[in-house]
Amino acid sequence: MAVLSHDTFLTGFDGGLRGGPLPPGVTARIPAEAARRFDVYRNNVAVSLTEALASRFPVIRRLVGDEFFRAMARVFAEAHRPQSPVLAEWGDSFPDFLAGFPPLANWPYMADVARIEYARGVAFHAADAEPLDPQLLTGADPETLILHLHPSLQVLASDHAAVSIWQQNQPGAQASPLPAAPETALILRDRAHEVPVHSIGPGDVAMLAAIQSGATLVASAEAGLAADPAHQAQALLVHLMQAGAIVMRRGHLP
Protein backbone atom coordinates (compact mmCIF):
# COMPACT_ATOMS: atom_id res chain seq x y z
CA MET A 1 0.00 0.00 0.00
CA ALA A 2 0.98 3.63 -0.33
CA VAL A 3 3.29 4.94 2.37
CA LEU A 4 1.27 6.24 5.30
CA SER A 5 3.08 8.60 7.66
CA HIS A 6 2.91 7.61 11.31
CA ASP A 7 1.00 10.78 12.22
CA THR A 8 -1.59 9.98 9.57
CA PHE A 9 -1.78 6.42 10.87
CA LEU A 10 -2.33 7.59 14.46
CA THR A 11 -5.04 10.04 13.41
CA GLY A 12 -6.82 7.37 11.39
CA PHE A 13 -6.62 4.83 14.20
CA ASP A 14 -7.89 7.33 16.76
CA GLY A 15 -10.73 8.24 14.41
CA GLY A 16 -11.65 4.57 14.35
CA LEU A 17 -11.59 4.44 18.14
CA ARG A 18 -14.07 7.32 18.15
CA GLY A 19 -16.45 5.35 15.94
CA GLY A 20 -15.08 6.40 12.54
CA PRO A 21 -14.31 3.97 9.71
CA LEU A 22 -11.81 1.14 10.02
CA PRO A 23 -8.39 2.83 9.80
CA PRO A 24 -6.42 2.37 6.59
CA GLY A 25 -4.03 -0.58 6.68
CA VAL A 26 -5.74 -2.43 9.54
CA THR A 27 -6.00 -6.05 8.51
CA ALA A 28 -5.90 -9.66 9.76
CA ARG A 29 -4.92 -13.10 8.50
CA ILE A 30 -8.55 -13.30 7.34
CA PRO A 31 -9.05 -9.65 6.31
CA ALA A 32 -12.83 -9.88 6.69
CA GLU A 33 -12.25 -10.22 10.46
CA ALA A 34 -10.30 -6.97 10.76
CA ALA A 35 -13.29 -4.85 11.84
CA ARG A 36 -14.31 -7.28 14.58
CA ARG A 37 -10.72 -7.35 15.85
CA PHE A 38 -10.40 -3.57 15.76
CA ASP A 39 -13.49 -3.43 17.98
CA VAL A 40 -11.37 -4.93 20.78
CA TYR A 41 -9.36 -1.70 20.91
CA ARG A 42 -12.48 0.48 20.68
CA ASN A 43 -14.02 -1.49 23.51
CA ASN A 44 -10.84 -1.53 25.64
CA VAL A 45 -10.54 2.25 25.51
CA ALA A 46 -14.22 2.82 26.38
CA VAL A 47 -14.36 0.19 29.13
CA SER A 48 -11.06 1.13 30.76
CA LEU A 49 -12.05 4.80 30.93
CA THR A 50 -15.50 3.91 32.27
CA GLU A 51 -13.92 1.78 34.98
CA ALA A 52 -11.43 4.51 35.84
CA LEU A 53 -14.31 6.97 36.26
CA ALA A 54 -16.37 4.48 38.27
CA SER A 55 -13.51 3.88 40.69
CA ARG A 56 -13.20 7.63 41.14
CA PHE A 57 -16.96 8.28 41.60
CA PRO A 58 -18.38 5.17 43.34
CA VAL A 59 -21.25 7.05 45.02
CA ILE A 60 -22.41 8.56 41.73
CA ARG A 61 -22.38 5.08 40.22
CA ARG A 62 -24.40 3.77 43.13
CA LEU A 63 -26.89 6.64 42.89
CA VAL A 64 -27.54 6.32 39.14
CA GLY A 65 -27.02 2.55 38.81
CA ASP A 66 -24.42 0.60 36.82
CA GLU A 67 -26.12 0.68 33.46
CA PHE A 68 -26.86 4.41 33.54
CA PHE A 69 -23.34 5.12 34.80
CA ARG A 70 -21.71 3.15 31.98
CA ALA A 71 -23.71 4.93 29.32
CA MET A 72 -23.09 8.33 30.90
CA ALA A 73 -19.38 7.62 31.39
CA ARG A 74 -19.00 6.89 27.67
CA VAL A 75 -20.57 10.24 26.82
CA PHE A 76 -18.31 12.01 29.32
CA ALA A 77 -15.13 10.17 28.28
CA GLU A 78 -15.66 10.99 24.61
CA ALA A 79 -16.09 14.68 25.34
CA HIS A 80 -13.54 14.95 28.17
CA ARG A 81 -10.73 12.54 27.47
CA PRO A 82 -7.96 12.34 30.08
CA GLN A 83 -5.20 14.83 29.38
CA SER A 84 -2.54 12.89 31.25
CA PRO A 85 -1.66 9.23 31.87
CA VAL A 86 -2.11 9.90 35.59
CA LEU A 87 -5.78 8.94 35.77
CA ALA A 88 -6.06 10.08 39.39
CA GLU A 89 -6.03 13.58 37.91
CA TRP A 90 -8.93 12.83 35.57
CA GLY A 91 -12.54 13.76 36.30
CA ASP A 92 -12.26 17.34 37.56
CA SER A 93 -14.82 18.36 34.93
CA PHE A 94 -17.19 15.48 35.77
CA PRO A 95 -19.22 17.42 38.40
CA ASP A 96 -19.94 20.25 35.94
CA PHE A 97 -20.77 17.66 33.29
CA LEU A 98 -23.32 16.12 35.67
CA ALA A 99 -24.81 19.53 36.43
CA GLY A 100 -25.43 20.04 32.72
CA PHE A 101 -26.44 16.48 31.84
CA PRO A 102 -30.16 16.74 30.87
CA PRO A 103 -31.21 13.26 32.10
CA LEU A 104 -30.07 14.26 35.61
CA ALA A 105 -31.88 17.59 35.67
CA ASN A 106 -34.19 16.36 38.47
CA TRP A 107 -31.25 15.35 40.68
CA PRO A 108 -29.53 18.70 41.28
CA TYR A 109 -27.42 17.38 44.19
CA MET A 110 -25.53 14.98 41.91
CA ALA A 111 -22.82 17.50 40.94
CA ASP A 112 -22.05 18.38 44.57
CA VAL A 113 -21.77 14.72 45.55
CA ALA A 114 -19.34 14.30 42.65
CA ARG A 115 -17.36 17.33 43.87
CA ILE A 116 -16.99 15.61 47.23
CA GLU A 117 -15.80 12.42 45.54
CA TYR A 118 -13.29 14.29 43.39
CA ALA A 119 -12.01 16.22 46.42
CA ARG A 120 -11.55 12.95 48.30
CA GLY A 121 -9.30 11.73 45.50
CA VAL A 122 -7.27 14.92 45.65
CA ALA A 123 -6.96 14.51 49.43
CA PHE A 124 -5.96 10.84 49.09
CA HIS A 125 -2.98 11.79 46.90
CA ALA A 126 -2.11 15.14 48.56
CA ALA A 127 1.38 15.76 49.90
CA ASP A 128 2.33 14.36 53.29
CA ALA A 129 2.83 16.69 56.27
CA GLU A 130 3.97 15.76 59.74
CA PRO A 131 1.32 16.33 62.45
CA LEU A 132 2.31 18.87 65.07
CA ASP A 133 3.27 17.46 68.45
CA PRO A 134 0.50 18.68 70.84
CA GLN A 135 3.21 19.41 73.44
CA LEU A 136 4.45 22.21 71.21
CA LEU A 137 1.09 23.96 71.52
CA THR A 138 0.85 23.98 75.30
CA GLY A 139 3.28 26.80 75.90
CA ALA A 140 2.32 28.82 72.83
CA ASP A 141 0.60 32.19 73.03
CA PRO A 142 -2.77 31.97 71.19
CA GLU A 143 -2.57 35.71 70.49
CA THR A 144 0.38 35.11 68.18
CA LEU A 145 0.05 31.40 67.32
CA ILE A 146 -0.50 30.67 63.63
CA LEU A 147 -1.58 27.12 62.80
CA HIS A 148 -0.87 25.25 59.58
CA LEU A 149 -3.37 22.79 58.16
CA HIS A 150 -2.72 19.55 56.31
CA PRO A 151 -2.43 19.95 52.51
CA SER A 152 -5.28 17.46 52.01
CA LEU A 153 -7.83 19.64 53.88
CA GLN A 154 -10.66 20.99 51.73
CA VAL A 155 -13.97 22.67 52.54
CA LEU A 156 -16.79 22.33 50.00
CA ALA A 157 -20.10 24.17 50.34
CA SER A 158 -23.21 22.62 48.77
CA ASP A 159 -26.74 23.90 48.16
CA HIS A 160 -27.93 20.40 49.09
CA ALA A 161 -27.49 17.77 51.79
CA ALA A 162 -24.54 16.45 49.78
CA VAL A 163 -22.57 15.23 52.82
CA SER A 164 -25.47 13.15 54.16
CA ILE A 165 -26.10 11.73 50.70
CA TRP A 166 -22.43 10.77 50.41
CA GLN A 167 -22.42 9.24 53.90
CA GLN A 168 -25.61 7.25 53.37
CA ASN A 169 -24.18 5.73 50.20
CA GLN A 170 -21.11 4.25 51.82
CA PRO A 171 -20.95 0.45 52.06
CA GLY A 172 -22.99 -0.71 55.04
CA ALA A 173 -24.46 2.74 55.77
CA GLN A 174 -28.06 3.07 56.94
CA ALA A 175 -30.48 5.36 55.11
CA SER A 176 -32.14 8.01 57.26
CA PRO A 177 -34.13 11.16 56.46
CA LEU A 178 -31.95 13.75 54.76
CA PRO A 179 -31.53 17.14 56.44
CA ALA A 180 -33.44 19.91 54.73
CA ALA A 181 -30.63 22.44 55.11
CA PRO A 182 -27.66 22.72 52.77
CA GLU A 183 -24.43 21.15 54.05
CA THR A 184 -20.75 22.02 53.90
CA ALA A 185 -18.21 19.20 53.66
CA LEU A 186 -14.90 18.97 55.48
CA ILE A 187 -12.63 16.61 53.54
CA LEU A 188 -9.41 15.58 55.19
CA ARG A 189 -6.99 12.66 55.00
CA ASP A 190 -6.50 11.21 58.47
CA ARG A 191 -3.54 9.48 60.12
CA ALA A 192 -4.64 6.09 58.69
CA HIS A 193 -4.59 7.64 55.16
CA GLU A 194 -8.37 7.43 54.99
CA VAL A 195 -10.50 10.32 53.78
CA PRO A 196 -13.76 10.60 55.73
CA VAL A 197 -16.25 13.36 54.97
CA HIS A 198 -17.81 15.40 57.75
CA SER A 199 -20.55 18.02 57.69
CA ILE A 200 -19.43 21.25 59.38
CA GLY A 201 -21.34 24.37 60.46
CA PRO A 202 -20.75 28.03 59.63
CA GLY A 203 -18.52 28.56 62.70
CA ASP A 204 -16.14 25.79 61.62
CA VAL A 205 -16.15 27.09 58.05
CA ALA A 206 -15.25 30.61 59.18
CA MET A 207 -12.58 29.47 61.63
CA LEU A 208 -10.93 27.15 59.08
CA ALA A 209 -10.95 29.93 56.46
CA ALA A 210 -9.31 32.27 58.96
CA ILE A 211 -6.61 29.72 59.85
CA GLN A 212 -5.95 29.10 56.17
CA SER A 213 -5.63 32.82 55.54
CA GLY A 214 -2.86 32.98 58.16
CA ALA A 215 -4.83 34.53 61.04
CA THR A 216 -3.72 33.86 64.61
CA LEU A 217 -5.51 31.26 66.72
CA VAL A 218 -7.39 33.92 68.69
CA ALA A 219 -8.43 35.80 65.56
CA SER A 220 -9.51 32.51 63.92
CA ALA A 221 -11.63 31.53 66.93
CA GLU A 222 -13.22 35.01 66.87
CA ALA A 223 -14.03 34.55 63.18
CA GLY A 224 -15.80 31.30 64.11
CA LEU A 225 -17.81 33.05 66.81
CA ALA A 226 -18.74 35.88 64.47
CA ALA A 227 -20.24 33.36 62.05
CA ASP A 228 -21.93 31.32 64.78
CA PRO A 229 -22.24 32.71 68.33
CA ALA A 230 -22.46 29.12 69.69
CA HIS A 231 -19.33 27.96 67.84
CA GLN A 232 -17.01 25.61 69.81
CA ALA A 233 -13.47 26.37 68.66
CA GLN A 234 -12.14 23.76 71.06
CA ALA A 235 -14.16 20.95 69.45
CA LEU A 236 -12.87 21.81 65.99
CA LEU A 237 -9.27 21.93 67.26
CA VAL A 238 -9.62 18.54 68.94
CA HIS A 239 -11.03 17.05 65.75
CA LEU A 240 -8.16 18.51 63.70
CA MET A 241 -5.52 17.33 66.16
CA GLN A 242 -6.92 13.81 66.26
CA ALA A 243 -6.88 13.60 62.48
CA GLY A 244 -3.30 14.88 62.37
CA ALA A 245 -4.48 17.91 60.42
CA ILE A 246 -2.53 20.54 62.34
CA VAL A 247 0.91 20.15 60.90
CA MET A 248 4.45 21.36 61.19
CA ARG A 249 5.41 24.10 58.83
CA ARG A 250 8.77 23.27 57.37
CA GLY A 251 11.57 24.77 59.44
CA HIS A 252 9.17 26.54 61.79
CA LEU A 253 7.97 25.96 65.34
CA PRO A 254 5.06 27.87 66.82
CB 74 within 8 A of CB 46: yes
Residue list 165-184, contact with another protein (CB under 8 A)? none
Q: Do the strands 154-157 and 184-187 form a parallel or antiparallel pair, or are they unpaired?
A: antiparallel
Determine, following the binding rule CB under 8 A, whether residue 186 of this chain makes contact with another protein: no
Restricting to residues 104-123, which ones interact with another protein according to CB under 8 A?
Answer: 123
Residue 7 interacting with another protein (CB under 8 A): yes
The SS3 assignment for 131 reads strand
- Segment contacting another protein (CB under 8 A): 64-72, 78-86, 154-162, 171-179? 78-86
Nearest to 44 by CA among 34, 52, 33: 52
Of 166, 165, 52, residue with least CA distance to 120: 166
Q: Looking at 45, 218, 219, 227, which residue binds another protein (CB under 8 A)?
A: 45
Confirm or reject binding of residue 82 to another protein (CB under 8 A): yes
Count of residues near another protein by CB under 8 A: 48
Residue 28 makes contact with another protein by CB under 8 A: yes
Is 44 near another protein (CB under 8 A)?
yes
Q: Contact with another protein (CB under 8 A): which of 119, 152, 167, 185?
A: 152
Nearer to another protein, 30 or 230 (CB): 30
Site for another protein in 195-254 (CB under 8 A): none
Measured from the Cβ of residue 244, the count of other Cβ atoms closer than 10 Å reads: 18
Of 55, 71, 75, 88, the one binding another protein by CB under 8 A: 88
Alpha carbon distances (Å) from 23 to 12, 201, 210: 5, 57, 57
Nearest to 162 by CA among 23, 59, 39: 59
Closest distance of CB 38 from another protein, Å: 6
Give the residue among 166, 78, 73 at the shortest CA–CA distance from 116.
166
What are the start-end ranges of the E strands in 74-219? 154-157, 184-187, 197-200
Residue 40 vs 180, nearer CB to another protein: 40
CB of 125 to another protein, least distance (A): 3
Q: Which is nearer to another protein, 14 or 66 (CB)?
A: 14
Q: Which residues pair with 187 in a beta bridge?
A: 154, 197
Residues β-bridged to residue 185: 156, 199
Applying CB under 8 A, which residues contact another protein? 1, 3-7, 9-11, 13-14, 17, 25-30, 33-34, 36-38, 40-41, 44-45, 48-49, 52, 81-88, 123-128, 151-152, 189, 193
